[in-house]
Amino acid sequence: MKLVIISNRVPSPNADDQAGGLTVALRDALSESGGVWFGWNGEAEEQRGTTPDMVRRDNIEFATLPLSKQDLDGYYRGYANMVLWPLFHERLNIVEYREAFRASYASVNEYFAEGVTPLLDPDDLIWVQDYHLIPLGAELRKRGVSGSVGFFLHTPLPPYDVFRVLPNYTELLESFLAYDVVGMQTTIDVRHFADNMRHGLGANVDESTGTVELNGRRVRFGAFPIGIDVDKTAEIAHANRDTAEGRRLVEVHAGRKLVIGADRLDYTKGLVKRLEAFDRFLGAHEDEMANEMIYVQIAAPSRESVERYRAITRQLEAAAGRINGRKNRIGWTPLRLINRSIPRDALLGYFSLADVGLVTPLRDGMNLVAKEFLAAQTAEDPGVLVLSKLAGAADELSDAAVMVNPYDAEGVGEGLYRALTMPMEERRRLWEVGMDRLRRNTARIWRDRFLDALVEEDGKSARPEHPRPRARSRVLGRRGGSRSSSTTSAA
């Protein structure tokens, strides 16, 4: 029995620096258990491939295929990035549905199923990742795969009224039924899933057991909040406080308080609004804060080819120019915008040096930056997290951070001020609560909980090589997630 993870993109075995939560989390999740990681190699060629390229590094077998240029346009840039990504983040006004995108999405899911099926043994645990591959389970079943197949959604799952805007809504919902277990980040996503299944398909849904039944198929569903490797993150962060990159940053902030933001350049991360909030903050507190702090925002390009992402860069640069260019700010550059990806080690070092982490997505499945920022702090002098109520991480961290509504620029500005002026005792208290939460849902616990649920659902005896015997999946259904459902109302 082996673990087979299937995701849209598989990172190069040698590249440790790609920005992207899924990659970071899956690397952590697979590093111990080992297994196969199947998906796209990131290349777009004239033709699709026939058999996957196999590269082994440590105990992970990377099995990858290229996409064709047509696939890149229709499946990846089209259906995944222009339809499902905005839809799942409730940005209906920018959804650009086309029938050709839908067809390409279906076709790439078939291509992936064809490519991975020969690598599978009957007792494997197959774990499909994210919105790119929702129909993959059904394609595997068509090819005779009858064992355990699970699915995890890294983004939010939209409410019924939003999801049903999708022209092929019913078809997409039905494809969830091919899985044994469907996992989501938060209890809110779970509630939305149940509503969609009930109202969209007329399925029988039992939220107390986390079970949906339709046409003889039974699927378990639940919240499995994703996490990070807390100790490893802290170790790297602390070891990288004093690097060449870090020193340059220290010179820039030279004794001033440091506010940091680091996001993939994506409209869901709320960067334009965040700079607006920073401007409001300066407007309200400049007399006190002038020369006392700087804000460094890293915006790591990840899907540069999509026009919308280029537009955000232009907006951010213009906003940064306005903020820094005000004439009364001569000698003090309050904002430093870094439009490139920073090596992971240096990034975590920056987090550790920072006094405030500004994480204000407009909507986010989880948001690992929030978790990494907390893990990177030191107990003696912990920085403060300012966190959006609309990030999945708010489910676990609402009493470990200054919570803000990312649409309320003034409120975010005031949240930033509160964080910058917070007394040590309160900072320590928040940080301790945060660390406790992070340890309850590490990357490893996330993986174990999901695979336990998958094994249990399929009546299998054990999952592959997991060192720690654990209690069975308490996380399914309404009781899912790390907190009681009452705490989710903030998000």
Residues designated as active site: 154, 364
Q: Which range of residues in 102-110, 166-174, 341-349, 375-383 is near ligand GDG by CB under 6 A?
A: 341-349
Q: How far apart are CA 17 and CA 38, in angstroms?
A: 19
Q: How far apart are CA 199 and CA 160, in angstroms?
A: 7
* Chain-centroid distance, C-alpha 50: 30
Q: Which range of residues in 270-278, 336-344, 414-422, 480-488 is near ligand GDG by CB under 6 A?
A: 336-344
Cross-strand bridge partners of residue 149: 126
Residue placing its CB nearer to ligand GDG in the complex, 262 or 409? 262
Which one among 173, 178, 262, 374 touches ligand GDG, defined by CB under 6 A? Answer: 262
Which one among 172, 230, 296, 347 touches ligand GDG, defined by CB under 6 A? Answer: 347
Contacting ligand GDG within 214-243 (CB under 6 A): 226
Regarding 341 and contact with ligand GDG (CB under 6 A), the answer is: yes
Contact 363, 268 (CB under 8 A): yes
Residue placing its CB nearer to ligand GDG in the complex, 175 or 367? 367
Whose CB is nearest to ligand GDG?
Answer: 21
CB atoms within 10 A of CB 304: 10
Q: Which range of residues in 71-79, 116-124, 305-313, 359-367 is near ligand GDG by CB under 6 A?
A: 359-367
Contacting ligand GDG within 382-421 (CB under 6 A): 392
Which of 222, 277, 233 is closest to 368 using CA atoms?
233
CB atoms within 10 A of CB 410: 13
Regarding 25 and contact with ligand GDG (CB under 6 A), the answer is: yes
Contact 172, 134 (CB under 8 A): yes
Give Cα separations from 110 to 18, 37, 87, 115, 141 (angstroms): 27, 17, 23, 9, 11
Which one among 344, 389, 418, 429 touches ligand GDG, defined by CB under 6 A? Answer: 344
Which of 406, 413, 409, 414 is closest to 362 using CA atoms?
406
Regarding 364 and contact with ligand GDG (CB under 6 A), the answer is: yes
Collapsed DSSP state (helix, strand, coil) of residue 184:
strand
Smallest gap from Cβ 438 to ligand GDG, in A, equals 13
**Residue carrying the six token digits 């009858």:** 146
Regarding 21 and contact with ligand GDG (CB under 6 A), the answer is: yes
**Site size with ligand GDG, rule: CB under 6 A:** 28
**Pairing assessment for the beta strands 293-300 and 257-264 based on DSSP bridges:** parallel
Regarding 298 and contact with ligand GDG (CB under 6 A), the answer is: yes
Contacting ligand GDG within 153-172 (CB under 6 A): 154-155
Regarding 300 and contact with ligand GDG (CB under 6 A), the answer is: yes
Which one among 13, 20, 42, 49 touches ligand GDG, defined by CB under 6 A? Answer: 20
Each residue 125-154 as x (binds ligand GDG by CB under 6 A) or -, in order, gives: -----------------------------x
Smallest gap from Cβ 295 to ligand GDG, in A, equals 16
Q: How far apart are CA 63 and CA 68, in angstroms?
A: 17
217 phi, psi to nearest 5 deg = -95, 140
254 phi, psi to nearest 5 deg = 20, 70
Q: Which range of residues in 42-50, 231-239, 337-345, 466-474 is near ligand GDG by CB under 6 A?
A: 337-345
Collapsed DSSP state (helix, strand, coil) of residue 480:
coil
Please count the residues of the chain. Answer: 491
User: Which residues of the chain form contacts with ligand GDG (CB under 6 A)?
Assistant: 17, 19-22, 24-25, 154-155, 226, 262-264, 298, 300, 341-344, 347, 364-369, 372, 392
